Structure 1
């Protein structure tokens, strides 16, 4: 069993409150979960309204599939015009 974990630090554009931030993050998390069937959650920077860290995890029997899945998730998040990826860390176990 191969486990892939990734934390993605985001800068969120055009939000002026925590309520607006939560709306954007909740939308991204829901779309990621339904499209890629992965575990995903906001894991840090809960009280900072223009930044967030989301964590994703996926499990497979092949490391190439895990790497491909994480790459696809990163591309999907990067294509969202509401946020910018400022940092990410990937760990394959």
Structure 2
């Protein structure tokens, strides 16, 4: 998932927002999540997350819930989102 942060003016500000979102997602959902790209750009971030389950329906619901949760944060906009279920 690629996100854009309008209000950020430094890497420090970006890292505070991304770290906050990652910790909140970890606390609310049973997923692994990390910043996986664009770590040197201060308004753009790539976040990757995954869940492991034996049900495609459950995986789809979990991933959509995490995406919705991040969308509702208000500090960033999702510009690109790719979902892959294996």
Asked if TM exceeds 0.5, the reply is: yes
The interval holding the TM-score normalised by the smaller chain is over 0.9
CA distance in 1, matches of 2:63, 2:44: 21
Normalised to the residue count of structure 2, the TM-score between the two structures is 0.98
Which ranges of 4 or more aligned residues in structure 1 deviate by more than 3 Å?
none
Following superposition of structure 1 onto structure 2, how do residues 12-27 of structure 1 map, counting pairs within 5 Å? Answer: 12-27=5-20
Higher relative contact order (CA 8 A, sep 6+): 1
Gap runs ≥5 in structure 1 = 1-7
CA distance in 1, matches of 2:30, 2:44: 24
Give the RMSD, CA atoms, in angstroms.
0.5
As a proportion of its length, which structure holds more strand? 1
CA distance in 1, matches of 2:10, 2:20: 16
Which residue does the alignment assign to 1:4?
A: none
Normalised to the residue count of structure 1, the TM-score between the two structures is 0.91
